[in-house]
Every structure is written in structure tokens, then in C-alpha cells.
Structure 1
Amino acid sequence: MKRILLLLLVLISSVFDAQVNLNIGSMNVGSAPVSSFFSYSYVQQIYLKQELNINAAGNITGLTFYLDPSATITDSSNWTLYLGHTSKATFTSGTDWIPVSQLTQVFAGNVTKNNNKVEIILTTPFAYNNTDNLVIAAKESAPSIDINNFNEAFHVYPYIPNSTLYYKGDREVVDISSPPGGIRAEYKSAITISGLTPNVTPGCPIILYPSNNAQYISLSPALSWQAVSGASSYKVSLGTSTGGTDVINQQVVSTNNFNLSPSIVLTRNTTYYLKVTAVSANGESTGCTENTFKTIPPIPVNDECTGALLASTFPYTYVQSDAMSSTNNGGFVLACANDGMNDGLWFRLTGDGNQYTIKVAPSTTSFDPKIGVFSGTCTNLTCVGTKDNGGGGTAETMTITTTAGTEYFINVGSFEDDVDMPEDVFTITITKL
């Protein structure tokens, strides 16, 4: 009799443990797994294998979604659910839907709220391979809405950007074979996935910043990673070789970020290897991969006026790929009255009495360049003029009339006149007219 009782207890424990709980305590609400505030919706969510953190492939037997206690879903209850596998981690655009041909319908019918949950038992379990990421898609087809204080009903938790793609509207039921353009979100449904057995130790954190193979990272970056469900702390290691810990050696932190500034300053033009593991009462995550990133280039040779690059053959073209490493030197260029500018990158030419057109074309929309032209000497600049007509990503063009034998200094900096903002990649072209 004791053996039978013990066997029953083991079986009950196994069934109870065979479920993955992801942030079921979250109290935020969002448009997933369905929208309750619009008549119709279609939502796809990607749950990464890394986040599921199960010990083997298995059959998904049910899904549980969590609601705000005050919410109703009376008019948001006609659901069709789909599950699938995908190699993608995020949605690349509002039309990057996973095709219905890659999904399996696992439920169709009306759902109800019970104890602030929607629990769905799958008549036919879905075989998850524990190799790919898991797709959970839901279509809601009831023609009315639940007001819920003009808010959504279901609990969601923050996750990596673009891990959810949703469409919601009031005109017609979504044709999932050809969904309309949707909206990407950086959250997912708080969820219980039944039938899968989680690992005892926590999963590996997903490093958010710097991303893998990132370039031009600052010398004191704020490291961040996706919070891991069940983790009580994290260990951070950073080195100059794979597996290295010569910069940070398993630093324990209680949050999902770590700011290197001001105690740690990295070296320019250097590749680093970052590893983060999660820790819980049951142990530490294993098998976590590293992110590699490279810091900003060395300070440009033309960072200071005294190092200005000479334009002697025209048309003169130069691509300033290391502009983000400029230092702004001692402050701001104030030679032009009431029109200061960042001390950016410097060029020079010797006048011959002709006109010259100076064009600066930024390579990123975030960089708003300003052109400043000066005569005199680097220690005693005289204003010739400035140009800043456009915004971020817009090319600036300025024409000057030169005097034979006069040296002209050209500064390309961010448009701000009293705030040190970084420069970015640009191309300067100087043409003699």
C-alpha cells in the first residue's frame, strides 16, 4: 500500500512539474494573446527555446493566459489558437507574419475567464521539438469589444523588442492566410505552458546590449540582458578573449543590467567577449553563449584643428568612418558670434581666389551635421560662416569664396551649439567651382 501511495505521489508531482511558467505574476496588460478592446485581432508571439528552458522535447497539452482581475472578456471569447516552430527570434517588420502553413491549429471555440485565467486544454497535444523557437498565434473573432476602462485585459511582460506582432481592428475577422500589416511589440503574454518539463536551473539570459557582433560600442557601455524568470541574481563576465574574465570576473548583480561607468573603461578598437548567467536557489544556468562586440575606433587624426586633413586635389572626397570617436576637445567652437558648434572633425584648404562648395552627407539619420568654415589659425579662428539647414540624416552644403593664399579650416560637427553630442559617419566632398 505504501508503494502505491508513493507511486501516486510521484506521478502527481511529475504532472504538476510538467509545466513552464513565464512571468505569471506580471500585472502589465497588452494586446496579447488577443486584443479585448477591438472587435477582431490576430497575434503571433515568439517564445525562444532559450526562454522556455525545458529539459527535453515534449507534448504541449495546454495553455493558460492570465487576466487583470477587473477585466471581462465576454465579447472577446471566440478564439482560434495555433502553435508552430520557427527559427526566427523576432519579427523584422509589421508584415513579417509566420505563414499559416507553418502553424498547426490546436483549438477553436469560446473561452471563459475563471479565477482570472483562461485555461485551454488541447484535445490533440502539440509536439514541441525543443530545437526551434515556439510560435503561439491566436485569432479572436467575436464582433464586439470589452471596454475594461479602455484598456486591454491580458497580462503581459516586457521582452526583447519585436517578439510579438499583432493586428487589431473593428472591420472584419482577420484572414490569417493573408494578414494585414500589424504592429510589433516588446512584450509577450504571461503564460503557463502545460506538458513541458522545465530545467531545474534557470535559463540563459538573452543579452540585449551590446548585441552580438556589435561595432562602435562606447568605452563605458551599460550592459543589459533580458530578465530570466525565477532568477535571483546574475553573474557577469567580460574579457578580451573567448571565455576571458580579465575585465570582469563573474560579477554578481541583482538586476538585469550593469553599468561599466565610471569604474571600468574599455580600450578603443578592441573586441570583447561578454557572458551572463542566471542564478537561482536551484543553481546557475549552463551552456550560455557569449556576445562579442568591438569598441569605438581610435581618436581620429583630424580630431583637432591642428590635425586638419589637407584638401589639395579637387574634387576632394573623404569618408569619415571613425567620426564617433571624436572628442570635442576643449569645448565648443565659438568663433562665429551667436552661432557656436561642436568641435568635430577638421579639414583645411588653401584659397586661390576661386569658389568652393563643401558638402557633408551623413550616413545615419541620427547624425545632424553642421559645417563651420574659419580662417586665421587654430588658436585664433575667424568666422567665415556656418551652415545647418536640415535635420538628422540631411546633407548640408555651403559655398565659400576664397582669397588667394588664405588657409581655411572646415569643421564638421553635430549641430548643437552648447551640448556635446557625438558625430557619426559622414562623407565630405569639396568641389572647386
Structure 2
Amino acid sequence: MKRVLLLLLVLFVSIFDAQINLNIGSTNVGSAPVSSFFSYSYVQQIYPKQEINTTAGNITGLIFYLDPSATINDSKDWTVYVGHTPKTAFTSGTDWVPASQLTQVYSGTVSNNAGKVVVNFQNQFAYDNIGNLVVAVKENSPSIDINNFDNVFRVYSYPENSTLYYRGDRTVVDPVSPPAGILAKYKPAMTISGLTPRQTAACPFVNYPSYNFQKVVLTPDFKWDSSTGATSYKISLGTSAGGTDIINGQVVTGNNYSLSTALNRSSNYYVKVSAVSANGESQECVNVPFKTIPPIPVNDACSGALQISAFPYQYTQADAVSATNNAGSVSICSPGMNDGVWFKFTGDGSKFRIIVGAIATDGLFDPQIGVYKGSCTNLVCVGTVDDAGPLEQEYIDVQTEASTEYYINVGYFEITDKPEDTFTILVKKI
């Protein structure tokens, strides 16, 4: 009898341990895994394998969390899909994981059971621990839970765009051709049933640089999220995937590491951060590739201004992020501005319009245009403009004088030195 009881106890413990909890204590709320304040929704969320921190196995169900008093009577008709993906994040509102890469594991109604929505799979899913896990939920009820205001399910912050959601009132979404959605930097707190967590701490998520970031500063401050149970971290940096030729397993007790020796410009590197706990070091942590900022642009200073000789003139500046502030901010016009990159042209008595459009790449570049005449050693203010916000278009009209040299500075709107980013400049006669 004792052997039977012991066997049952071991079996019970094994079943109880065969689940992975992902931030189930979070109290934040969001529009995932479903949007309850709209009639229909379709939401995909990505969980990197390093975060799941397990081995291959069969997923038997999922549990989502919400306030025990929340009503989801009009948001209970769910179809759930899971799959593998190489993505670590979504890149745009249309970057859905294709339906062909997903497996339907559940279709039916769900309910709020004391703050939990338990989805027991009708078909187990074989998780390979090679790709990352994507979970997609389609909500099919035509009505809404009007008292929820869309903030029902528990979510937790995640730096990357790990959730992509669509919500609307017109029709049920077809996962084969979903409409454009909205990116979110959070995802649902969730329990994965059927998988057993490793005893070691999970690999930390590297916040900076983000995966494949192309404009990393030369002395980066590497940053990562905490891993539950970790007592320290190890960081390695190399010029190849898995390389340690720059940093080899440096032990760090905090969540960041500042590099003191400058990296090479326009070069590829790989950083890896693992967590150390009482049970050992986390396994299979990802090598995060990144590239450093390009060389200083040739038109960094007024003396190197790019000559504009034909109109209309259009140019896309992709290396402005490496512009220096030279001798300091340019305060010839009021308000002053950051010393960015420079262009010049010769007036002919016509009126010219100068248009600068910031391009979204790695930041929220808010450009300012400064126009001057004279010479680089004796600039005279013609005008400046900073009317629009980040990633918006700025323009200024200039009535020129014949045979007079004009200089254009495109910089960050603040006087303090902040990096410029990619932009397009158009100079034309009007």
C-alpha cells in the first residue's frame, strides 16, 4: 500500500510540475489574448523558446488570467491555434505568422473560472523546442462585453513587439488573410500545460541592442531583463555567432554591462547573456546579432556640405546617426539646434522650398531645418523651422538672392546633442 501511495504521489507531483508559468502574477491588462470590447478579434503572440525554458514535449493546454469578477460572456467563442516560428517579434501590422504554419488545437466556448480561462487542447501540440512558440486566438462572438473597456486579461511588458492584434465589429477574421493589426509591447500572462520547466533560470531577454539592430553606438550599454531565480549573469561578445573574442563569460550581478573599449564602426557583432542560478547556467541562450553605427558622414561639418547643383534635388541620408556635434550646437538662428549634417546651394533670385522627411528606422527622429547664407566661418541666419513632431515632415521656403551661397543644416531639434537618423531632403524651386 505504501508503494502504491508513493507512486501516486510521484505521479501527482509530475503532473503538477508539467506546466510552465509565464508571469502569471502580473496585474497589468491589455488586448490579448482577445479583445473583449470589440465584437471580433484575432491576436497572435510570440514566446521565445529561451523564455519558455524547457525541452521538447507535448503541449496539452493553456491557461490565461484575468480578474475573477470580469465578465466574458460575450467574448467566449474562441478558436485557438499554435505553431512554431523563427520570429522573435513582429515587424509591422501585417507581419502575421501565416495560417499554414499554425495548428488548430481548440474550438469552443471558454469561461472565467475564478480568474482563469482554461483551454484544454482538443489536439495536443508537439513543441519541438527549436522554433519559438506562437499562440493565436480568434474570438468569434458577434457582441461585446461592454463593461470591460477592453482591459480584461493579464499581460506583462515585453520590449519587443511580441503581440500583434486586430479588433473590429464587422466580421469574423479569417486567419488565412487577416487585416492589418496593431503591435503591442506586451503579451498575455500564461500557463503552458504539458511541458516541464528546466531547473535552471530562463535565458534573460536582451533589451539593448534589440535583435539585428543596425545602428548600435560604439560603446554600448548592454541591457537585459531579470530572470527569476538568477543570482548573476554572464555576458559574452564576439565577432561571430557564439564568439567570445571581445568578452568571454564576464560575470555581472546587475542587468546591464557598459563596454569601455569602443567597437569598430559599421561592423557586425554578437552578444549573448545567460542567467546563473543555484541550479546552474541557463541553456541555449540566443546570440543577438547587431551592427555598429556607420562612419562619420562626409557632410558632418559645414565645410563638407554636399553641393546641390541641379533642381529638384532629392537625397536620402542613411548615415546621419553618426554625425557629430562638432564645436557645439548651432545658435545663429533662434531657437538653436543640434549640429547635424550639411548641404549647400547657390541662389538665383528664385524662391526655394526645402522639405525634410524623417524616416522611421531605429528611433523617433525629430528634425529641425536651419538655413544660413554667407560662409561657414561667417554664417548669417536666414530661417529655421521645427513645427512638426517626430517622424513628421518639416519644410521652409527661402527667397534667394542671386549668386549667394546658402547652407542647410538638418539636425535634431534639441540643442543638446542627440543622434540624427535617416531622412530624405528635397530642395526645389516654387
TM-score after normalising by structure 2: 0.79
Q: CA deviation at 1:398?
A: 4.8
In the superposition, relative to structure 1, how do residues 70 and 248 fare at CA in structure 2: closer, same or farther (>3 Å)?
farther
2:324 pairs with one of 314, 327, 331: 327
Aligned to 1:60: 59
* Deviates further, 418-427 or 33-42: 418-427
Structure 2 unmatched runs, 5+: none
Tell me which residue corresponds to 1:344.
Answer: 340
Aligned equivalent of 1:275: 272
**CA 1:93/1:321 → structure 2, altered by over 3 Å: closer, same or farther?**
closer
Amino acid of the structure 1 residue aligned with 2:34: V
Deviation at 1:397, TM superposition (A): 6.8
Q: How far has the Cα of 1:279 moved from its partner?
A: 2.8
Other-structure match for 2:48: 48
Which runs of 5 or more residues in structure 1 are unaligned? none
Report the counterpart of residue 111 of structure 1 in structure 2.
110
Which residue of structure 2 aligns with residue 284 of structure 1?
281
Deviations 1:346-373 (A, max 9, x none): 5668x79888979676673535252433
CA distance in structure 2 between the aligned counterparts of 1:278 and 1:174, rounded to whole angstroms: 40
1:27 alignment counterpart: 27
Whether the aligned pair in 2 keeps the contact of 1:368 and 1:390 (CA below 8 Å) is no
Question: Is residue 7 from structure 1 mapped to residue 4 from structure 2 by the alignment?
Answer: no
Instruction: Name the counterpart of 1:135.
Output: 134
* C-alpha displacement of 1:116: 1.8
Give me the whole-angstrom Cα distance separating, in 1, the residues matched to 2:184 and 2:120: 27
**C-alpha distance 400-372 of structure 1, shift in aligned 2 (>3 A):** same
Q: Matched residues in 2 for 1:26 and 1:115: separation?
A: 16
1:331 partner SS: coil
- The residue type equivalent to 2:304 in the other structure is A
CA-to-partner distance for each residue in 1:100-152, whole Å, 9 max, x for gaps?
44433322333232232122323432222333333322233344433455352
* Aligned-partner Cα distance in 2 for 1:422–1:344: 8
- The question of 1:39 aligning with 2:58 is answered no
- The answer on 1:296 being equivalent to 2:293 is yes
Structure (1 or 2) with the larger CA radius of gyration? 1
Change (3 A) 1:95 1:340: closer
SS of the aligned residue for 1:38 comes to coil
CA distance 1:55–1:376, shift in 2 (3 Å): closer
Measured after TM superposition, the shift of residue 382 of structure 1 is 4.1
Deviations 1:30-69 (A, max 9, x none): 222222333333322222333222222x222222111123
Contact 1:390 1:396 (C-alpha < 8 Å) held by counterparts? no
Is the 1:268–1:297 Cα contact (8 Å) retained in structure 2?
no
| Structure 1 residue 277 displacement after superposition | 0.9
Contact persistence 2:27–2:155 (CA under 8 A): yes
Q: Indicate yes or no: 2:227 matched with 1:244.
A: no
Structure 1 partner of 2:83? 84
Task: Give the distance between the partners of 2:307 and 2:99, measured in 1 at CA.
Answer: 58
The SS at the match of 2:107 is strand
Residues of 1 paired with 2:45 and 2:428: CA distance? Answer: 53
CA distance in 2, matches of 1:393, 1:373: 20
Q: Distance in 2 between matches of 1:166 and 1:121?
A: 23
Amino acid in structure 2 at the alignment position of 1:181: A
CA distance in 1, matches of 2:382, 2:153: 58
Q: Distance in 2 between matches of 1:155 and 1:318?
A: 46
Cα displacement (A) at 1:214: 2.8
Deviation at residue 288 of structure 1 after TM alignment = 2.2
Bigger drift between 75-84 and 25-34 goes to 75-84
Alignment match, 1:122? 121
- Taking the aligned partners of 1:176 and 1:431, their CA distance within structure 2 comes to 46
- Bigger shift: residues 281-290 or 85-94: 85-94
In structure 1, what is the equivalent of residue 204 of structure 2? 205
For residue 412 of structure 1, what is the aligned residue in structure 2?
409
Shift of 1:157: 1.5
Residues 161-189 of structure 1 deviation map (CA, whole Å, 9 limit, x = unaligned): 33222233344444445444332322222
Distance of 2:314 and 2:117 partners within structure 1: 63
1:54-100 Cα distance to aligned partner (Å, 9 max, x none): 222x2222221111233232333233323333343333433444444
Aligned length: 420
**SS of residue matched to 1:401:** coil
Contact preservation (8 Å) 1:364, 1:393: no
Contact 1:64 1:120 in 2 (8 A): yes
Secondary structure in 2 aligned to 1:63? strand
SS of 1:8's partner is helix
- The Cα RMSD (Å) is 3.9
Question: Structure 1 counterpart of 2:277, which letter?
Answer: S
User: 1:285 Cα deviation (Å)?
Assistant: 1.0
Alignment of 1:101-250 (within 5 A): 101-148=100-147, 150-228=149-227, 231=230, 233-238=232-237, 243-244=243-244, 246=246, 250=250
Contact 1:37 1:151 (C-alpha < 8 Å) held by counterparts: yes
For the 8 Å contact 2:232–2:251, the answer to whether it is kept is: no
Q: Which segment drifts farther, 309-318 or 194-203?
A: 309-318
Shift of the 207–235 alpha-carbon distance from structure 1 to 2, 3 Å rule, reads same
**SS of match in other structure, 2:24:** coil
Quickly say closer, same or farther: Cα 1:293–1:171, change in 2 above 3 A.
Answer: closer
Give the partner amino acid of 1:410: Y
Moved more, 234-243 or 10-19: 234-243
**CA distance, structure 1, for counterparts of residue 342 and residue 36 of structure 2:** 57
Distance 1:390 1:129, change over 3 A: same
- 1:221-260 per-residue CA deviation (whole Å, 9 max, x = no partner) reads 44333554554543333456763364685242444xx263
| SS of equivalent residue, structure 2 residue 126 | strand
> Residues of 1 paired with 2:151 and 2:54: CA distance?
30
- Distance, in Å, in 2 between the alignment partners of 1:152 and 1:240 is 44
SS of equivalent to 2:11: helix
Q: Which amino acid aligns with 2:326?
A: N
